[in-house]
A and B are shown apart, each in its own frame.
Chain A
Amino acid sequence: GAVVSQHPSRVICKSGTSVKIECRSLDFQATTMFWYRQFPKKSLMLMATSNEGSKATYEQGVEKDKFLINHASLTLSTLTVTSAHPEDSSFYICSAPQVQGNYGYTFGSGTRLTVV
């Protein structure tokens, strides 16, 4: 079945630094990638939608300059948390929809970001 590989699974960084999270579709082409953020004991909140070759669409309240999303190819989407602060600590998950064949959504395994 379709697989989305997300890396890193865990990252600890210092305040003020930037962190890049990658999601790769391994056996299918992901023209769209959804990026979610999950706070402890909370649901998944959609942050943005990336589309290959075009600018990402951000949900209301999400800072575009802080959460940079790039979808440079049909198999790779990246989320960069810039100038990270402790309040950015969270669990980030990507998801690629499959609109043909076995319709559904394939999720990455998530990235636990801790900013110290």
Chain B
Amino acid sequence: AQSVTQPDIHITVSEGASLELRCNYSYGATPYLFWYVQSPGQGLQLLLKYFSGDTLVQGIKGFEAEFKRSQSSFNLRKPSVHWSDAAEYFCAVGGSGGSNYKLTFGKGTLLTVNP
């Protein structure tokens, strides 16, 4: 069964500092990986996704993530955090078709940004 682990429940950084949110996955084949962001009371916004090819993926709002198969990881990074980045971040894994393409989410990491 597929699963996602986000080890950090809550992270606090100062505005302008760099950020890395960790994500580890378990999946039997080549995974389709996603990072979503959710503001309070809102739906999900896709930051970036990885299917194949270049293992360093660029997303919106200056975010990037790197797929490391050997470590089963897909960590999200941003070089300089803005106060507006404060939100909940979810890593998710899905498959390529049939019943495999339902998404499984991690428990999320809450990001707080200090001024």
Given the known interface contacts A99-B97, A103-B32, A105-B94, the answer about A44 and B43 at a Cβ–Cβ threshold of 8 Å is no
Which of the four size classes fits the interface of chain A? Answer: 20 to 34
Task: Enumerate A59-112 residues with CB–CB distance to B below 8 Å.
Answer: 91, 93, 95, 97, 99, 103-105, 107-110, 112
Select the residue from B43, B103, B106 with max chain A CB neighbours within 10 A: B43
In this assembly, does B107 line the interface, its C-beta being within 8 Å of a C-beta of chain A?
yes
Docked CA distance A6–B105 (Å): 20
Interface 1/0s, chain B 47-59, versus A by CB < 8 A? 0010100000000
A-B pairs, top 7 by smallest CB distance, nearest first, are: A109-B43, A43-B107, A107-B44, A110-B43, A44-B105, A43-B105, A107-B43
A residues with a Cβ closer than 8 A to B are 6, 34, 41-44, 46, 49, 91, 93, 95, 97, 99, 103-105, 107-110, 112
